[in-house]
Every structure is written in C-alpha cells, then in structure tokens.
Structure 1
Amino acid sequence: MSRALFIGRSVLDVLALVDDFPGPDGKTKALANDLIPGGSSLNAAIVFSHLGGDATLATSMGAEGLVRNFVTDDLKKYGIDLRDICDDPSYHIPLSTVVSTRSLGTRMIVNGAQDDCSRLKDGRDLFASDYNLIQLDQYEHPFVGQNFDDIRAFDGPVILDGGSWKEWSPDFLRLADVPVVSEVFLPEGPHAFAEMCNDLGLSRWAITRGTNGVIWHDGGSSGEIPAIPVTAVDTLGAGDIFHGAFCHAYAESGEFVEALNSANRIAAKSCEFAGTRSWMRA
C-alpha cells in the first residue's frame, strides 16, 4: 500500500449549489446545500485514501469544539491519519463559503479570514515515517518553513499543488520535485513557468487548464493531455481531486504521464456530481 504525507490547511466549507449566480442585491434558491470539511490537502488526502492509499494529513486543528469535532470525525470516516500541527488554542478552523452554479459548472469561493497557525508543535517526527511522497499545497506556510530542511531532505518526490501565486510560492517551489500547478498559478503563462522550472532545475512539471486539458514536461519530453468531455454539474474541488488521484497513481507506479492521465479521468468524473465526495459513491 502506498503512503503519502499531505501538508496543508483544513477548512469547513459551507456549500450551496444554484442554477445561476444572483445579481447584485439578488436572491436565489439553492438546489442543494451541504456542510463539509475541505481544503486542498484535506481533499487530496481523502481521494488518496479512497483509491486505496494510506494518507497522513498534517494540518492545523486548533481549538476544541463543534467545528473541530466535525472535521475530525469526517477524516476518521475516510481513514486519514490526522496530525494536528497547531499549538495555539485560539486558532479556529476557517469557514469557507462556496456557491457553485449548475448552468455554468463554475463556482465562487470566499475564504475564511483565519491566517495559518504560527504557534506550532514540534513536527519533526512526521518526517521519520516511510512515505512514498509528500504533497504541499502552499498553506501551513509557518510549519513548512519550520521543517524546511526535513522536507528538503526527504528521500522521495515532493509534489507541489500550486493553485495561485502567493508571495511565498518561491519557497514552496524550492522544495518541490514535481510542481503540478493550475494555469492561473503564473499569469505570464506556460512558457514563463517552464523557464522558471528550468532555472530551479525542475525537469518534471505539469499545468492543469480545466477544459483545455493538461500540459506536461518530463525531461526531454513534453505533451498535452486533452480534457475529457463531461456535462459539468459542479467543478468544486476538481483540482484537489486531481492532485489526490495523481499522488496515488504516481506513488503506485512512479510513471508521471500515466499518473496525470489517471488523475485527469478521475477529476473529470467528479465534475459530474455536486460537491467533493458524491462522485465516490457513484
């Protein structure tokens, strides 16, 4: 069984699926509502576990209470080994508000105001375990900085989930062996990202582009993977699901392009269902 460590922020998503976004001062009736734990690494860890892997999630849980218990119980249900890295009792898991449209297959996200936890537990024991890979999602920046040397010394691939550019993105890129980023990660485009990776000595990378498919580069080879046509109901979490599926396939086979193809198929399937979990039950 493949094993992976996912490091990133956990949130509690308040979800609504609507036909169309309302205009200014407008109202609309939800087609579906849900309350579900989320976050890039949390979602990826659950997908990794769902596909048969052994996932550990290092994340900030903070204060005891209903939200923490809700998130913890959900992770237990999916067999995730949860490691709380936060030592600040005033930290609260952020609430994220997500509105998705059925007509367009797009969504609007309002992230919580809570910053990453900066009062941290000693997490060095995490890196003594025998993982096949580590995934970083650019959150829990203080924890990643505290353990920079241990992550760099990890004897295995470090995967970067790069959703959008942040002021600390260069720090995460310096830790990455395989960055798999979205097309909005670097607004200057794929060529600029390729040059950046070349400057950093990164020869294996990919850019996900939604309905335009995936661009990949692997040493002296490069190519594109076309998007799989689907009738999208909800694209929420598709990138996270892609990453969880990629990490599982890559940990199992070590085949980069094969893992990207597998992740592309699974992420496309997830878009045919509302929310981030219902595709698993289909």
Structure 2
Amino acid sequence: MVSTHRAKEKLREANMSLRIICLGNTTLDKVWPVPELPAGSGKFRASDYFELGGGMAANAAVAAARLGADAAYWGRAGDDAAGISMQNEMAGYGVDVTQFRLFAGARSSVSSIVVARDGERNIVNFRGANLPDDPAWLPLEQVAKAHAVLADIRWVEGAAAVFAAARQAGIPTVLDGEIATDAAYATVLPHTDHALFSEPGLRAFAGRDSLDNDTRRRAALKKARDLGCKVAAVTRGAKGLLWLDDHGLHRQPAFDVDVVDTTGAGDVFHGAYACALGEGRSVADAMRFASAVAALKCTRHGGRAGIPNRSEVQTFLTNRSQ
C-alpha cells in the first residue's frame, strides 16, 4: 500500500491531476414513480418515467470526477441500447470510458424500479448475460499511473487482476464490499488494502443474520483483515461507520443533515474515499472526507445528479469545523 508521504510526492513530482480507476458494475435503471406500490397483479399508471445510469463502481467513478479527479471507469456491458446509453451518460459526467467495453452478443444489466411517493420501492434486476469474465483485455500497465484503484465485488476476475497490479505498483486499493460468495472474497481480499462493506454485505460475509453489537462487528471486520486487507470498514448510514486497522476499532459519526434521497450514497462514499487516499490523506481524514461527500449527496434528489463538487464539500467541512 502506498504511504501518505509517497502519494503526496507522486502528485507533486509528476505535476499531474489525481487519477482514479474504478472497475466493476454498471446498470441502467428504468424508473417509474407511482403514488404507492402496487398490491397484487394488475395494470398501474406511473406519473413519470426516466432512465439513469447506476452501478457501484460506475457511480463511484462519477463521484470521483465530480470531485475533480481524472476518473476512469473500467467495465463491461452489452453492445445494446442500454450499454450505449450508460457509456454516453458516464462520459457526459467527465469520466474516461475508454476501457468501458461494449461486447457484441452480450446483454447489459438493467433494473426496473417502481418508486412510491413515500420513497418505498420495488426493484427487479437483470444482471446481464454473456459478459466475458476473462480480464485479459484490461490495460493493467496503466494501473501504475493511478493514485488509487477502486473495484466492486461483481466482476471478481477483473477486480483481482487490477488489484494485483495495483499492489505490485504500490497503489492503494479500495473494495466495495457487497453481498457476494465466500469464494469471491477469498479471491479479492488478499489483494485489497481497504475493504468498505455495507451492513448487508458485512453480514453476508460474516455468515450472520445480525451484527447487533460492536463485538460482532469487530469480529466480522477482523475476518476480512485475516484474509489480507489492511483496513476493514462498515458503513451504517445515519449511524456513521466503523473501521478496524492495526491500531484497533475506530468510529466516524455521520454528519447531521436533512436527508432527501439516499440513492447511491454508499457508492459516492467509496469514490470519495478513493480520492482521499489517492491524495495521501490518513485513513481517519479519508473517512471524514468521504462521509461529508455522502452526507451532502443525501441532501439532494437523484443519485449522480446529487453528487457535490469539491468546493461544496470544502465549504461544508469548514462550516462543520467551526
């Protein structure tokens, strides 16, 4: 893992912008707002309809770009209307999509989301089909030019390959820990520096129905560290987050904000955290910075549309420190 000092020196000596690579999942969300969720079968009228790009690593890349980084998304989709739409939207946010490959004969991941006025929602997701697992096409030699690398757990082979290249080059790696198989984590965690779990993801990883106290949470985070990662964390929404490292268990409280929409907040946190690490910040400072970015996003409607820029985050943190 690259040190704080080395990361800052790398940015200064190269006189280069912050380069963040995000690899993994992208999904096209098709959203139908309704007054209330349907009960039973039938025909129902939506008040609107819109399509939005989503996906863990894809949203993280957009967050990094919004924060001023030279963000690149590496991933797979089908050479279909959904894939083309996602590629174009991400490019519109300033993300480098050169390695966002659309494969002929493959089908993109698409979700149908019915959202009620009270915020409750039903989601049906198609994860895609015929997307090649082999990461041989990835330009791994470019990893050494990055300041941090992020991946989610959906494309295991790709995550393992890019993390191994980053580890060899001394580039910090950040894993978005969602629900996945034991085999997936056994493959990726040995190459991971920072594993950031959601609560459902950590419960599934730990093999427990509940992680209702810090003793159990610590044991689950220790399990991740035992597989090779250096920092293991769990984000808990309004309850803040916990992380475990060589010095013990630490906390970052959530910022108190008026929450409007939490869509994509976890993905945004991960992208912001990767940026902070790439800048050479300490883990504690990176956790606070990422928490602020995610909190600001929650005060606005929309997933990607609600992501703040760097100036807004700095103003928010300055006001909170007074």
Counterpart-to-counterpart distance in 1, 2:193 and 2:67? 23
Instruction: Report the Cα offset of residue 59 of structure 1.
Output: 0.5
Gaps of 5+ in 2: 1-16, 212-216, 313-322
Counterpart-to-counterpart distance in 1, 2:49 and 2:299? 17
Cα root mean square deviation, aligned: 2.7
Corresponding residue of 2:96: 81
C-alpha contact (below 8 Å) 2:166/2:172 kept by paired residues? no
Change (3 A) 1:246 1:26: farther
Corresponding residue of 1:114: 128
Instruction: Report the Cα offset of residue 151 of structure 1.
Output: 4.5
Corresponding residue of 2:214: none
TM-score (norm 1): 0.86
Instruction: Report the Cα offset of residue 120 of structure 1.
Output: 5.3
Change (3 A) 1:268 1:180: same
Counterpart-to-counterpart distance in 2, 1:148 and 1:216? 21
**What letter is aligned with 1:38?**
G
Corresponding residue of 2:165: 150
TM-score (norm 2): 0.76
Corresponding residue of 2:73: 57
Matched, 1:219 2:246: yes
Quick one: which of 176, 180, 205 aligns to 1:161? Answer: 176
Matched, 1:247 2:263: no
Quick one: which of 154, 158, 172 aligns to 1:139? Answer: 154
Gaps of 5+ in 1: none
Percent identity over the alignment is: 27
**What letter is aligned with 2:301?**
A
Aligned residues: 280
C-alpha contact (below 8 Å) 1:230/1:268 kept by paired residues? yes
**What letter is aligned with 2:194?**
V
More helix by share: 2
**What letter is aligned with 2:176?**
D
Q: How does 1:89-238 map to 2 (within 5 A)?
A: 89-103=104-118, 105=119, 107-115=121-129, 116-118=131-133, 122-145=137-160, 149-167=164-182, 168-187=184-203, 188=208, 189=211, 190-238=217-265
Matched, 1:42 2:58: yes
Counterpart-to-counterpart distance in 1, 2:307 and 2:163? 34
Q: Report which of the two structures shows the higher radius of gyration computed on alpha carbons.
A: 2
Counterpart-to-counterpart distance in 2, 1:20 and 1:37? 24
Counterpart-to-counterpart distance in 2, 1:231 and 1:20? 23
